Structure 1
């Protein structure tokens, strides 16, 4: 069945399920976000670029269906189908994946939590991203270089089973396992993720860990980095391109935040590793450390101002031929303003500057890279976005 027919069938199903006969026991909601922006980049492959973008804004354009059916005794059947939309050409986001943002079904209970199965975000998205700069002001100009730790949610986990706990006095946690599905090898193309957060008054503490074995697959739609329909990988740029041979990937993140009146302070630290890089690197492991500091000021109930600083350092590895690569450093600063015209519509402006130094994973001089939005031909790049976001 082609995607347009599939979507028509889903909408028809939603209409049927919300008929008066079914209303007493089930509910289906259609929702979405349209986030469009004019983007300026000072250098992409040697030239300035102006573009319209609807996928890398504050939240990324999408539409979805979510529903719940009351099964009695506090138990509910739940589902979500959510598709990214490129509103500039009408195509799907997430590499052409029809429901690339989320697609899952499961059971939920207020007392015991929820268990869901399908294509889902990892625990970084649930327990760290909402409290990072990408959760406060989520444009690509504020994501970490290359989105190495997935806080920009570039990658989802296919074939996953996820448990999310209820809230225990401000503490919550979750766990997820991605089933590999490889005959004769239970662990191949599999991964797992854990996360937890504690929210108490002005204090926020959070942590998450994700591990994936055989993260890069030659089969589009499988693996971790290559699980979109077109198989495009986030290991496509010089920052980490040479590490596509890694047989394992892991990232651990710790974060903390504190609110003082109208000011919210936020900091986070992550460690990223591409392990067992193969014979070309004598099976070495490439490591990155990323630190972020963000300050958000609520000027009024409708105006939010933000400033952030991010520092990424790559620990170099030695090739089998004896060459040292991957010793690289990235400094990134950004400022933004977000003004709400109503509860559902806001306009925003963000500007970021990034400077790279050292040697990339390929052995060439490191170049600027704003969350995989196109590499600079030099060590510097400016990223500016003016946008409008509408929720329905």
Structure 2
């Protein structure tokens, strides 16, 4: 009887030790903003409560398990929600859903739905703002990330000192634009970070979209500055002409479905931490687009975008912000209501947990 009790005690202790090497973390962001938009509806203004000004609200689960020998099992599930109504933010309930293995020597491999490499290089290397990679309600740069995520992806990441390399491949299952391949290279040391990436996505009819981006950032005490360039090229026809050119801010810079030939963007901005609580930021984006249709063959549609943000941190987890933005178009593109210009502002509150 004593031997049985001793065996059970050892088994219980070893089981507890094994569980102690695993962790499941629940995390999230709740962000709600009050937005004013001029020229929103047939020239009239619009006032809204929006589900995220600086960040889209989300709820996620991170899983880590130490497998020993420098190996770790990792997994992530992340759901995006409309914090103003409590509804689902997108058709895909899990905006991220992947599992992987990470080695201290050989890097990390992940499988499932996850961020693509264009999004990775933007947010990790030359994010538009220091305290928030981009403005969720006003994000022209993310319009050139070709969907930001891909399904059925295998991604491999390896780092050596200041150098990070990453590749992605998607098999192209189903009817969506899911077949992809690409890579990125990043160098970050001290105050400087630079990098670039390439991604090609193919739809089920064989039509392709290609994206390139490169840029860098510099941090010196309270000052953060960044500069980047990006381009997208589209085959004429197929579903990619609609899926990835639906606009930078809704129906923007998209004269007609499948008519976009090439889109280029340069952007620059800075963030300055005025006090330990107060951050000030500004960014400017310039986009230019060419078209396939004969009527627009010699037309270059253009977009000018600008935003300024003041963010006040009450704590490490809770902040309030004020944002102002301005958009101007020319050429063959307009907002859905025919307007060429539009202004906006947001006052919001965000909590991270």
Instruction: Please give the TM-score of this superposition, normalised by the length of structure 1.
Output: 0.75
Per the alignment, residue 96 of structure 1 pairs with: 91
Query: Counterparts of 2:348 and 2:287 in 1: how far apart (Å)?
Result: 27
Query: Counterparts of 2:20 and 2:137 in 1: how far apart (Å)?
Result: 45
Structure with max Cα Rg: 2
Per the alignment, residue 73 of structure 2 pairs with: 77
Is the alpha carbon distance of 1:39 and 1:139 closer, same or farther for their aligned partners in structure 2, counting shifts above 3 Å? same
Q: What secondary structure is seen at the aligned counterpart in 1 of 2:119?
A: helix
Query: Counterparts of 2:237 and 2:186 in 1: how far apart (Å)?
Result: 32
Is the alpha carbon distance of 1:92 and 1:193 closer, same or farther for their aligned partners in structure 2, counting shifts above 3 Å? farther
- How far off its partner does 1:23 sit? 2.7
Which 5+ residue runs of structure 2 have no aligned equivalent? 1-14, 242-255
Contact 1:203 1:259 in 2 (8 A): yes
Match of 1:309 among 275, 281, 284: 284
Deviations 1:257-286 (A, max 9, x none): 1223322111000111112337x99x9970
Match of 2:149 among 137, 156, 162: 156
Query: Counterparts of 2:51 and 2:345 in 1: how far apart (Å)?
Result: 14
Per the alignment, residue 3 of structure 2 pairs with: none
Match of 1:367 among 311, 334, 350: 334
Q: What secondary structure is seen at the aligned counterpart in 2 of 1:346?
A: strand
Structural mapping, 1:1-392, within 5 Å: 23-46=19-42, 47-55=44-52, 57-93=53-89, 95-100=90-95, 102-130=96-124, 131-133=126-128, 136-137=131-132, 138-144=134-140, 147-150=142-145, 154-166=147-159, 168-181=160-173, 189-214=178-203, 247-277=207-237, 286-319=261-294, 324=297, 327-359=300-332, 366-368=333-335, 375-392=336-353
- How far off its partner does 1:376 sit? 4.9
CA-based RMSD: 2.8
Query: Counterparts of 1:22 and 1:98 in 2: how far apart (Å)?
Result: 32
- How far off its partner does 1:338 sit? 0.6
Deviations 1:63-93 (A, max 9, x none): 1111111212111111000100112222222
Query: Counterparts of 1:326 and 1:99 in 2: how far apart (Å)?
Result: 40
Query: Counterparts of 1:36 and 1:182 in 2: how far apart (Å)?
Result: 35
- How far off its partner does 1:59 sit? 2.1
Deviations 1:304-334 (A, max 9, x none): 1011111001123334xx5548620111111
Q: Which has the larger strand fraction?
A: 2
- How far off its partner does 1:121 sit? 0.3
- How far off its partner does 1:141 sit? 5.0
Query: Counterparts of 1:284 and 1:64 in 2: how far apart (Å)?
Result: 37
Is the alpha carbon distance of 1:367 and 1:182 closer, same or farther for their aligned partners in structure 2, counting shifts above 3 Å? closer
Query: Counterparts of 2:17 and 2:222 in 1: how far apart (Å)?
Result: 48
Contact 1:76 1:108 in 2 (8 A): yes
- How far off its partner does 1:136 sit? 4.7
Instruction: Please give the TM-score of this superposition, normalised by the length of structure 2.
Output: 0.83
Contact 1:44 1:377 in 2 (8 A): no
Q: What secondary structure is seen at the aligned counterpart in 1 of 2:320?
A: strand
